């Protein structure tokens, strides 16, 4: 029982990271109808930027801000270089281009920084606190806290602000939005920047828990994508619930079934959902279209 | 796909002058020369290895040209399927001491089954799912290769892999692989002109239109995906036999991306492009070996290449060359003159061809169609009209199976089609056109209409490709476009594209033809021509159900009219009486 509680905490912590990346997926998907396969690399690049910043002698908070600014820039470049030129083509070329970008990003970092995984210290000095039978790791607490704040921020931003409403309008009907005087290309640009920052934030948060490595991007992206399908594709709440669920399933699977195949559980859950409930827990987005 | 020799005894028909095997003779001669060269020339070990790698990789990339090029579906796990075949031969010949041939076939079967399973679980959904699921599958296969040490020997890999007795020497084995490459290449090349290949191209160009033209979209995609996996497995098995050693890192996700890049670079649509892309991407890194000294650098360049090719050269090198070649070559021969089109609508049921009872379609709370009854009498033109938003197009989409009915029953010529998917309704005798034209854009007019003619259960088409072409030419001639049959869809005007869509439906010899706003966007001359065409179709006894806004067309062409408003039927009966009905007048003009 104690072990189960401990695993639940860890699972929610790691699931929160998947949820953040999944959120980035969903936002870009809603704005452009395209899945960005380089979303995971945003997390990886941000973690490396953080490592570089700390090595350059910046204080933790300054490195953090610098990394997020770097991600905003990367999001903008990504939009201009990868998505925007292909925006009038079908989804297949765009998917392939984002896969190309993912390979480019991962291997550029590898070429610059080498294959050796890096270590990033956590935000807090104290490693954690003991509450009853459960040890609450401070970094996991931070991840969960930030995720909760971001979910609230997202809700406020998209539902209560004019910019958020414009973004929603763009994702629902581009033609109509442009007829109403909304600059669709600006909205898409903002979406890419925001998603890159979100993905980057997830990467920086999770880096002290995992190692900072080239593979972390694709691993996280895969889980996050599975999370979006479990939650219901294109659904913001679904992405978050799906991410948390996946984190918990995976942690329990690793503890009780097999450690080496830990990364395989996401795939099994994914296939089970695809076969039995492709619309996910919440979504109806797969619905018929004519 | 018939083996070339099967085509020999068929007497040469009027349309195609020479049997297939004679027209393709140069290919076989070329292939035979290559095999002979591979068997006789002395290569040093390094060159031999590069040739062997290029040959086996090409076969795997052929798989991608089927799934991605022909069918428009993505596969990011080709290296995993390649690995399944390679490990089957590796483990089979080394640990189990089984025969090479048995292992090769076993590997192909395992890959095929894995591909079919992945496809079945995913291909109903959008392409994003397929991309992610194939990546996941790739990761799982890699995990198993590394961790299931009892089976795969883990990261050390499998060594001491055997070759068949017949091809023990590396020289003869290379020749064997080149021969396999030639055979697979021929089959893949020929595939696009077969029924399955046409179905794949139709699915790639327009899934909805493929469905309503009688193609089982889901099954076609699974065939393409499973075929791709099979070729991956075959290539892997050959690779393992050639190099006698396999390890997990040869079948990683990065390698899948290399396969994808090869396919895109050469030109995804053709096996020639695949071979070119494969050759280049094996040779270039050999010339630029210094790139490999920095880990990641050459894969980073691959990634950049992918982005650049997609943006600037979407058809790849071969697509570019073939395009230029086609422009340089004189225009292809004019299409053959065709006979008159005969329509022989089936008559199984009684006097009513289409009987719709209590049909409803609700979207959440919106009742787009609500308890509508329609009875379409055999022969003649029946119109379904109504103001904007009255539920006409929704009704048509429910009739053709693009939407599932919420309630109600649809009987076509005595067959209950209410719960059938679109392609089965088409097989039962339904033909339709779309308001926003849905043609297969990468094909010629003739090929579009051939796909219509190919509908399962079409009794008006004899056996073989020539009968198909003949039927399609008749249908195109019927709508007045026979002389332009070999032109691509993009070169036709909007009005002519509409006629091609009608020809595509007519070629299938439907029992009932559904026309969705055929006059929309046509100028007045074209409308008159359309009217004439409808008369000629009706004169052959084919029943038409037409939706349109053009009241002149409707009142002149239709004998019977059903009027919808807010999803309900407000009038039904003989044309002139219905148009004078006070409810209809107020629905269109508003009441005081």
Residue B62 pLDDT level (bands cut at 50, 70, 90): very high
Residue B302 pLDDT level (bands cut at 50, 70, 90): confident
| Chain-centroid distance, C-alpha B316 | 20
User: How far apart are the CA of A5 and the nearest CA of chain B, in angstroms?
Assistant: 28
Is B7 a residue whose pLDDT tops 60? no
Please report whether residue A94 resides in a domain: yes
User: How far apart are the CA of A227 and the nearest CA of chain B, in angstroms?
Assistant: 12
Task: Give the number of other Cβ atoms within 10 Å of residue A290's Cβ.
Answer: 12
Under DSSP, the state recorded for B333 is P
Please report whether residue A99 resides in a domain: yes
Query: Packing angle between helix A216-231 and helix A2-32, nearest 10 degrees?
Result: 80
* Most distant pair of Cα atoms in chain B: their distance: 95
Under DSSP, the state recorded for A86 is G
Residue among A108, A225, A286 minimizing CB distance to B300: A108
Matching residue, tokens 């509908």: B455
Strand order in the sheet with B568-574: B430-432, B512-516, B543-547, B381-385, B560-565, B568-574
Residue B374 and residue B578 in contact, taking contact as beta carbons nearer than 8 Å = no
Please report whether residue A276 resides in a domain: yes
Token duo for residue B172: 């003869």
Bridge partners of B562, per DSSP, are B384, B572
Q: Tell whether A85 lies on the interface with B, counting CB pairs under 8 A.
A: yes
Residues of chain B with Cβ-Cβ distance to A105 below 8 Å are: 303
Residue B334 pLDDT level (bands cut at 50, 70, 90): low
Ramachandran angles phi, psi of B188, nearest 5°: -65, -40
Task: Give the number of other Cβ atoms within 10 Å of residue B24's Cβ.
Answer: 16
- The separation between the first and the last C-alpha atoms of chain A, rounded to the nearest angstrom, is 51
Residue among A107, A270, A271 minimizing CB distance to B299: A107
Strands B543-547 and B381-385, sheet pairing: parallel
B/e letters for B129-151, b = 16+ CB within 10 Å, e = fewer, are: bbbbbbbbbbbbbbbbbbbeeee
Q: Is B297 in contact with A107 (Cβ distance < 8 A)?
A: yes
Read off the pLDDT of each residue in B248-269 and give the average, rounded to a whole number: 88
Please report whether residue A105 resides in a domain: yes
Distance, in Å, from the CA atom of A178 to the CA atom of A121, rounded to the nearest integer, reads 46
Q: Is A267 in contact with B137 (Cβ distance < 8 A)?
A: yes
Distance, in Å, from the CA atom of B358 to the CA atom of A172, rounded to the nearest integer, reads 33
Question: Cα angle at B7 between B6 and B8, to 5 degrees?
Answer: 95
Residue A111 and residue B295 in contact, taking contact as beta carbons nearer than 8 Å = yes
User: How does pLDDT run across B448-497, given as a tens digit for each residue?
Assistant: 999 999 888 787 777 778 888 889 999 999 999 988 888 888 889 998 99
Residues of chain B with Cβ-Cβ distance to A214 below 8 Å are: 296
Q: Tell whether A229 lies on the interface with B, counting CB pairs under 8 A.
A: yes
Residues of chain B with Cβ-Cβ distance to A99 below 8 Å are: 76, 131, 257, 260, 306
Q: Is B300 in contact with A35 (Cβ distance < 8 A)?
A: no
Distance, in Å, from the CA atom of B99 to the CA atom of B96, rounded to the nearest integer, reads 9
- Which residue, among B586, B547, B571, has the nearest Cα to B394 in the 3D structure? B547
Q: How far is CA B363 from CA B144, B391, B421, B567, in A?
A: 45, 12, 19, 12
Residue A288's pLDDT is: 39
Q: Tell whether B404 lies on the interface with A, counting CB pairs under 8 A.
A: yes
Question: Cα angle at A224 between A218 and A225, to 5 degrees?
Answer: 90
Distance, in Å, from the CA atom of B107 to the CA atom of B85, rounded to the nearest integer, reads 4
Scan residues 15-54 of A and list those with Cβ closer than 8 Å to B. 29, 34-35, 37
Q: Tell whether B541 lies on the interface with A, counting CB pairs under 8 A.
A: no
Distance, in Å, from the CA atom of B586 to the CA atom of B571, rounded to the nearest integer, reads 12
Q: Tell whether A114 lies on the interface with B, counting CB pairs under 8 A.
A: yes
Q: Which position has the higher pLDDT, B548 or A193?
A: A193
Residues of chain A with Cβ-Cβ distance to B298 below 8 Å are: 107
* A180: three-class secondary structure by DSSP: coil
Residue B9's pLDDT is: 39
pLDDT digit string (tens) for chain A, length 290 residues:
788 889 999 999 999 989 988 888 888 887 777 888 898 999 999 999 999 999 999 999 999 999 999 999 999 999 999 999 988 888 788 888 998 999 899 999 999 988 888 888 887 877 888 888 888 888 889 999 999 998 899 888 888 889 888 888 888 887 888 888 888 889 889 999 999 999 999 999 989 888 898 888 888 888 888 898 888 877 788 889 999 999 999 999 888 888 888 878 888 888 888 878 877 877 654 443 33
DSSP B453-510: HT-TT-TT--SSHHHHHHHHHHHHHHTT-GGGTTSBGGGS-HHHHHHHHHHHHHHT--
Residue B111 and residue B227 in contact, taking contact as beta carbons nearer than 8 Å = no
Bridge partners of B381, per DSSP, are B544
Q: How far is CA B36 from CA B31, B55, B171, B177, B272, in A?
A: 9, 15, 11, 12, 20
Under DSSP, the state recorded for A257 is T
CATH code, domain with A254: 1.10.3470
- What is the ipTM score, two decimals? 0.85
Question: Cα angle at B348 between B343 and B354, to 5 degrees?
Answer: 80
Distance, in Å, from the CA atom of B111 to the CA atom of B75, rounded to the nearest integer, reads 13
Q: Tell whether B72 lies on the interface with A, counting CB pairs under 8 A.
A: yes
Read off the pLDDT of each residue in B538-567 and give the average, rounded to a whole number: 88
Ramachandran angles phi, psi of A251, nearest 5°: -65, -45
Residue B251 and residue B80 in contact, taking contact as beta carbons nearer than 8 Å = yes
Residue among A86, A105, A260 minimizing CB distance to B310: A86
For residue A290, what is the nearest residue in chain B, using CA coordinates?
A: B402
* Most distant pair of Cα atoms in chain A: their distance: 59
Residue B488's pLDDT is: 87
Residues of chain A with Cβ-Cβ distance to B72 below 8 Å are: 92
Q: Tell whether A218 lies on the interface with B, counting CB pairs under 8 A.
A: yes
Residue B18's pLDDT is: 63
For A6-20, B318-332, B549-563, which range has the lowest pLDDT when averaged over its residues? B318-332
Scan residues 253-282 of A and list those with Cβ closer than 8 Å to B. 260-261, 263-264, 266-267, 270-271, 274-275, 278
Instruction: Give the number of domains in chain A.
Output: 1
- Mean of the per-residue pLDDT values for chain B? 87
Distance, in Å, from the CA atom of B473 to the CA atom of B54, rounded to the nearest integer, reads 42
Matching residue, tokens 């292992």: B103
Residues of chain B with Cβ-Cβ distance to A96 below 8 Å are: 74, 260, 264, 306, 310
Is B80 a residue whose pLDDT tops 80? yes
Report the residue of B78, B128, B442 to disrupt the A interface, i.e. the one with the largest count of A CBs within 10 Å.
B128
Token duo for residue B225: 């995906």
Residue B328's pLDDT is: 67
With a CB cutoff of 8 Å and minimum separation 6, the contacts of B382 are B374, B376, B543, B544, B545, B546, B558, B559, B560, B561, B562
Distance, in Å, from the CA atom of B550 to the CA atom of B82, rounded to the nearest integer, reads 57
Q: Tell whether A220 lies on the interface with B, counting CB pairs under 8 A.
A: no
Q: Tell whether A286 lies on the interface with B, counting CB pairs under 8 A.
A: yes
Report the residue of B73, B117, B124, B131 to disrupt the A interface, i.e. the one with the largest count of A CBs within 10 Å.
B131
Strands B381-385 and B407-412, sheet pairing: unpaired
Residue B59's pLDDT is: 96
Task: Give the number of other Cβ atoms within 10 Å of residue A27's Cβ.
Answer: 25
Please report whether residue A290 resides in a domain: no
Under DSSP, the state recorded for B364 is T
Bridge partners of B560, per DSSP, are B382, B574
Residue B484 and residue B445 in contact, taking contact as beta carbons nearer than 8 Å = yes
- CB-side exposure of A61: number of CA atoms within 13 Å? 0
Q: Is B133 in contact with A288 (Cβ distance < 8 A)?
A: no
Helices vs strands, H then E, count in chain B? 25, 10
Q: Is B306 in contact with A100 (Cβ distance < 8 A)?
A: yes
Matching residue, tokens 């006629």: B499
B/e letters for B294-312, b = 16+ CB within 10 Å, e = fewer, are: eebbbbbbbbbbbbebbbe
Matching residue, tokens 């044309």: B575
Give this prediction's pTM. 0.84
Q: What is the dihedral of CA B121, B126, B129, B134, to 10 degrees?
A: 70
Residues of chain A with Cβ-Cβ distance to B435 below 8 Å are: none
Residue among A99, A100, A111 minimizing CB distance to B297: A111
Token duo for residue B282: 């094996």
Distance, in Å, from the CA atom of B383 to the CA atom of B355, rounded to the nearest integer, reads 14
Residue A103 and residue B300 in contact, taking contact as beta carbons nearer than 8 Å = yes
Distance, in Å, from the CA atom of B110 to the CA atom of B102, rounded to the nearest integer, reads 12
Is B331 a residue whose pLDDT tops 70? no
Residues of chain B with Cβ-Cβ distance to A269 below 8 Å are: none
Matching residue, tokens 């699977």: A253
Residue among A29, A97, A261 minimizing CB distance to B306: A97
User: How far apart are the CA of B69 and the nearest CA of chain A, in angstroms?
Assistant: 11
- Identify the domain containing residue A17 by its residue range: 2-285
Q: Tell whether A72 lies on the interface with B, counting CB pairs under 8 A.
A: no
Residue among B74, B254, B402 minimizing CB distance to A290: B402
| Chain-centroid distance, C-alpha B341 | 27
* B577: three-class secondary structure by DSSP: helix
Residues of chain A with Cβ-Cβ distance to B302 below 8 Å are: 100, 103, 107
Residue among A34, A101, A271 minimizing CB distance to B303: A101
Residue B125 and residue A288 in contact, taking contact as beta carbons nearer than 8 Å = no
**Number of CB pairs, chain A paired with chain B, less than 8 A apart:** 140
Please report whether residue A196 resides in a domain: yes
User: How does pLDDT run across B383-435, given as a tens digit for each residue?
Assistant: 998 888 888 889 999 999 989 899 999 999 889 999 999 999 999 999 999 98
Residue among B260, B303, B402 minimizing CB distance to A104: B303
Residue among B254, B307, B402 minimizing CB distance to A97: B307
Distance, in Å, from the CA atom of B554 to the CA atom of A133, rounded to the nearest integer, reads 78
């Amino acid at each position: 029982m104690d072990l189960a509680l401990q695993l639940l905490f860890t699972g929610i912590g790691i699931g929160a990271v998947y949820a953040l990346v999944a959120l980035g997926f969903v936002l870009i998907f809603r704005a452009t109808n395209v899945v960005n396969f380089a979303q995971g690399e945003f997390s990886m690049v941000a973690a490396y930027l953080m490592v570089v910043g700390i090595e350059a002698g910046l204080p933790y908070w300054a490195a953090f801000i610098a990394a997020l600014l770097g991600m905003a820039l990367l999001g903008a470049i990504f939009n201009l270089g990868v998505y925007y030129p292909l925006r009038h083509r079908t989804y297949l070329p765009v998917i392939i281009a984002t896969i190309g970008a993912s390979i480019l990003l991962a291997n550029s970092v590898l070429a610059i920084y080498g294959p050796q995984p890096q270590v990033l210290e956590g935000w807090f000095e104290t490693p954690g606190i003991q509450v009853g039978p459960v040890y609450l790791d401070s970094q996991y607490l931070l991840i969960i806290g930030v995720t909760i704040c971001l979910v609230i921020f997202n809700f406020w931003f998209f539902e209560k602000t004019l910019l958020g409403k414009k973004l929603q309008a763009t994702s629902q009907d581009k033609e109509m939005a442009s007829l109403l005087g909304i600059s669709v290309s600006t909205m898409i640009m903002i979406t890419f920047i925001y998603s890159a920052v979100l993905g980057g934030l997830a990467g920086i948060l999770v880096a002290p828990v995992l190692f900072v490595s080239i593979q972390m991007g694709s691993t996280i992206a895969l889980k996050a994508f599975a999370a979006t399908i479990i939650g219901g594709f294109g659904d913001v709440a679904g992405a978050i619930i799906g991410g948390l669920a996946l984190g918990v399933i995976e942690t329990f699977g690793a503890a009780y079934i097999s450690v080496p195949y830990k990364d395989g559980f996401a795939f099994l859950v994914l296939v089970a959902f695809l076969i039995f409930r492709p619309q996910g827990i919440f979504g109806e987005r797969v619905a018929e279209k004519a | 796909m018939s083996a070339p020799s099967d085509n020999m005894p068929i007497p040469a028909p009027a349309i195609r002058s020479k049997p297939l095997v004679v027209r393709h003779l140069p290919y076989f001669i070329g292939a035979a020369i290559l095999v002979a060269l591979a068997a006789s020339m002395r290569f040093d070990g390094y060159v031999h290895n590069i040739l062997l790698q290029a040959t086996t990789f090409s076969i795997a990339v052929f798989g991608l040209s089927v799934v991605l090029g022909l069918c428009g579906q993505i596969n990011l796990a080709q290296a995993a399927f390649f690995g399944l075949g390679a490990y089957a031969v590796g483990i089979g010949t080394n640990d189990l001491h089984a025969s090479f041939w048995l292992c090769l076939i076993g590997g192909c079967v395992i890959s095929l089954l894995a591909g079919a399973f992945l496809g079945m679980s995913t291909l109903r959904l959008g392409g994003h799912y397929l991309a992610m699921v194939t990546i996941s599958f790739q990761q799982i296969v890699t995990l198993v290769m590394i961790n299931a040490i009892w089976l795969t020997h883990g990261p050390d890999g499998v060594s001491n892999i055997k070759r068949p007795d017949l091809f023990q020497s590396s020289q003869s084995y290379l020749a064997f692989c080149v021969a396999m490459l030639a055979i697979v290449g021929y089959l893949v090349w020929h595939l696009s002109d077969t029924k399955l290949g046409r179905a794949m191209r139709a699915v790639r160009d327009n899934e909805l239109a493929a469905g309503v033209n009688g193609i089982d979209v889901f099954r076609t995609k699974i065939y393409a995906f499973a075929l791709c996996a099979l070729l991956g497995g075959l290539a892997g098995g050959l690779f393992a036999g050639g190099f006698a050693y396999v390890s997990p890192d040869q079948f990683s996700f990065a390698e899948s991306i290399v396969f994808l890049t090869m396919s895109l670079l050469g030109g995804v649509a053709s096996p020639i492009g695949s071979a070119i892309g494969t050759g280049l991407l094996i040779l270039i890194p050999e010339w630029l070996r210094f790139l490999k000294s920095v880990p990641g650098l050459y894969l980073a360049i691959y990634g950049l290449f992918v982005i650049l090719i997609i943006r600037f050269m979407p058809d790849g090198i071969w697509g570019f060359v073939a395009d230029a070649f086609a422009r340089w070559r004189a225009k292809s021969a004019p299409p053959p003159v065709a006979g008159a089109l005969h329509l022989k609508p089936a008559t199984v049921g009684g006097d009513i061809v289409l009987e719709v009872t209590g049909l409803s379609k609700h979207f959440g709370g919106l009742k787009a169609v609500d308890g509508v009854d329609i009875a379409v009498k055999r022969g003649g033109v029946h119109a379904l009209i109504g103001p904007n938003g009255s539920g006409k197009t929704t009704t048509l989409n429910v009739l053709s199976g693009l939407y599932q009915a919420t309630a109600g029953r649809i009987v076509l010529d005595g067959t209950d089609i209410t719960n059938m998917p679109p392609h089965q309704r088409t097989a039962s005798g339904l033909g339709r056109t779309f308001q926003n034209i849905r043609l297969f854009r990468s094909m010629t007019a003739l090929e579009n209409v051939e796909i219509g003619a190919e509908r399962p259960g079409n009794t008006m088409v004899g056996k073989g490709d020539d009968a198909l072409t003949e039927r399609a030419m008749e249908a195109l001639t019927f709508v007045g476009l026979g002389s332009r049959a070999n032109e691509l869809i993009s070169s036709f005007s909007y009005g002519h594209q509409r006629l091609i869509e009608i020809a595509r439906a007519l070629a299938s010899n439907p029992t009932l033809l559904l026309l969705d706003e055929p006059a929309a966007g046509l100028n007045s001359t074209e409308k008159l021509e359309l009217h004439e065409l409808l008369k000629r179709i009706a004169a052959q006894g084919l029943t038409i159900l037409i939706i349109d806004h053009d009241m002149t067309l409707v009142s002149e062409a239709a004998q019977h009219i059903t009027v919808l408003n807010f999803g309900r039927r407000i009038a039904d009966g003989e044309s002139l009486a219905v148009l004078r009905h006070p409810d209809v007048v107020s629905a269109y003009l508003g009441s005081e």
